[in-house]
Structure 1
Amino acid sequence: MKIVVIGIGLIGGSLVRDLRGLPERPSVLGMDKNPDHLDQALSLGLIDAPAEPADLATADLVIVSIPVDHVVRELPGLLAKVGEETLVIDAGSTKAPICQAVSGHEKRRNFLACHPIAGTEFTGPDAAISGLFQGKVNIICEVEQTAFRIQERALELFRHLGMRIRYMSPEAHDRHIAYVSHLSHISSFMLGKTVIEKEQNERDIFDMAGSGFESTVRLAKSSPAMWTPIFEQNRENVLETLDEYIANLQEFSDQLRENRYEDLYRQMDNTNRIKDILKGIPQQKQE
């Protein structure tokens, strides 16, 4: 089995780490616009060698793990180069623009639009870890657009990775992920910004920061190069979630300003049921 991974960071690197455990012991070739990433991937054993464009035609699997704006721009050309039986998957946190980019493509049947809901705040080849996808959800969109025999091969690979599969339309995916992933990243970035601006000349806040602050602001360490295109592509859904979030923050502020502590308590108590909703969800879940 021959795998070509395009973009050797946390997601692409973690995928090939676990796929190396397949019974057929695949060979893995890599592409990355950052030559340092290629060197790191080689030294870490994530890839066997750099890939050439010609390798796409003979690959069994092509993993596209690059920022979503690059996926939209590059995916049609990549599909044009793959073989008739090549499976191409992506890992983008938006799905509608990506699916639109290859709508009607002569090799659309080779592409399976995916979003594995897994990750950490770290980037680059050295962030890749084994077992990242075990028990995690993989959203698949427009499965009917992919050739059935290629779908079957993809599902075998996902079973090997230990992933749970959900099927969704691209539009539903982008709407839901704006709430459970994109908004949490914005909240984390803005909390970090608020603290930095308020305490830029003081060390006290960071000396006092406990695990609650650390866990809440963790996502602010994520790559702006990855997240800016996500917010751009999912702009309308993100704006809707932001409007609702801002309205809730304003309500909290009003209750506090007006000494309405019973309302404040009731609001937080009602929100406590989130712990029951989230019970059993695997850790390290991120977009």
Structure 2
Amino acid sequence: MNKIHIVGLGLLGGSFGLGARRKFPEMTITGTDISTQNQKDALTLGIITKAQDKPDLDTDIVILATPADTLGDLLIQTLDKVGENTLVIDLGSTKSKLCLQLAGHPKRKQYLAGHPIAGTEYSGPKAAFADLLDRKVMILCEMEKTDLHLKEKAYELFDALNLKLRFMDPDEHDRHLAFVSHLSHISSFMLGKTVLQKMEDEKNIFDMAGSGFASTVRLAKSSPAMWAPILTENKDNILASLDGYISNLTALREKIASSDGEGIYKELEEINKIRDILDLGR
């Protein structure tokens, strides 16, 4: 593997570039970004070795790391133009819609649907770092539809970056991510909004904000350019997760309103069981 092209030079795309360059110092990594400043920063930071709009025909892997609502058209345009030995991987947080959209493409075997469970609340090439992907889970969907020879290129890259591979159905992926990722971001954004509204009346509210607030609202610093499209692309699953969340909030509100201390205690005690689940996953 000698050449990679990255479209979208932000946190994820940039970290793939930095990680790949560290493991393969002689590799050529080209790339492009809709932001000319991001493109300049990516060159300065060593994420890419050359800025260019399109991958060369002998490029081994093209990585698409752009917002979720851009990936469908971008995948089709990219597959239409790449050489027959090039693998195209997207890093989008939603998979079902993309896999359906690409199902009939004549170069479907050159596409790999991927989603690295990695990130921070920061964005842009300056937020990228080589170890972002280290020991993180990389979810892959519909692997059987990707050419065996091209998959070997992906495995070589994933192994070099120390990614842990998991294989999942696209619908299952989107359904699960709505609960364990997308809903948590919504909760964080809405907590941030609620406190910002309160701040309009009480200017010193953040003086009382402790580590619990900071950790809970951390995700509200995430990029709207990335998250707004995710919420619409995975709409049905997110609405289902929100319905359950709102129902639980309403039930807890009713316990608080009726001063049901024992009921609140039992509810929180039951939820504490999540500690065991999270500890097992470490």
CA distance in 2, matches of 1:83, 1:109: 12
Opposite residue 258 of structure 2, the aligned amino acid is E
Partner of 1:4: 5
Could you tell me which runs of 5 or more consecutive residues in structure 2 were left unpaired when the two chains were aligned: none
Q: How does 1:75-154 map to 2 (within 5 A)?
A: 75-154=75-154
Opposite residue 7 of structure 1, the aligned amino acid is G
- Are 2:90 and 2:112, in contact at CA under 8 Å, matched by a contact in 1? yes
Opposite residue 148 of structure 1, the aligned amino acid is L
Q: List per-residue Cα deviations over 1:200-221 (Å, max 9, x = no partner).
A: 2433211111111011001111
Give secondary structure in 1 for the equivalent of 2:159: helix
- Are 1:114 and 1:138, in contact at CA under 8 Å, matched by a contact in 2? yes
- C-alpha deviation, 1:56, in angstroms: 3.9
- C-alpha deviation, 1:23, in angstroms: 4.2
**Given the alignment of the two structures, is residue 38 of structure 1 paired with residue 39 of structure 2, yes or no?**
yes
Give secondary structure in 1 for the equivalent of 2:240: helix
Opposite residue 38 of structure 1, the aligned amino acid is Q
- C-alpha deviation, 1:120, in angstroms: 0.3
- C-alpha deviation, 1:24, in angstroms: 6.3
Give secondary structure in 2 for the equivalent of 1:140: strand
- C-alpha deviation, 1:58, in angstroms: 2.0
Q: RMSD of the alignment, in Å? A: 1.2
Length-normalised TM-score, structure 2: 0.96
- Are 2:189 and 2:217, in contact at CA under 8 Å, matched by a contact in 1? yes
- C-alpha deviation, 1:260, in angstroms: 1.1
**Given the alignment of the two structures, is residue 47 of structure 1 paired with residue 48 of structure 2, yes or no?**
yes
Opposite residue 159 of structure 2, the aligned amino acid is R
CA distance in 1, matches of 2:234, 2:177: 9
- Are 1:137 and 1:165, in contact at CA under 8 Å, matched by a contact in 2? yes
Q: List per-residue Cα deviations over 1:46-75 (Å, max 9, x = no partner).
A: 11111232x342211111000011101211
Q: List per-residue Cα deviations over 1:3-44 (Å, max 9, x = no partner).
A: 110000000000111111234621111111110001111111
- Are 1:14 and 1:132, in contact at CA under 8 Å, matched by a contact in 2? yes
- Are 1:27 and 1:48, in contact at CA under 8 Å, matched by a contact in 2? yes
Give secondary structure in 1 for the equivalent of 2:268: helix
Partner of 1:158: 158
- Are 1:68 and 1:98, in contact at CA under 8 Å, matched by a contact in 2? no
C-alpha change, 1:210 and 1:10, in structure 2 (3 Å) is same
Partner of 1:174: 174
Task: Answer with 93-102 or 19-28: which moved more.
Answer: 19-28
Could you tell me which runs of 5 or more consecutive residues in structure 1 were left unpaired when the two chains were aligned: 283-287
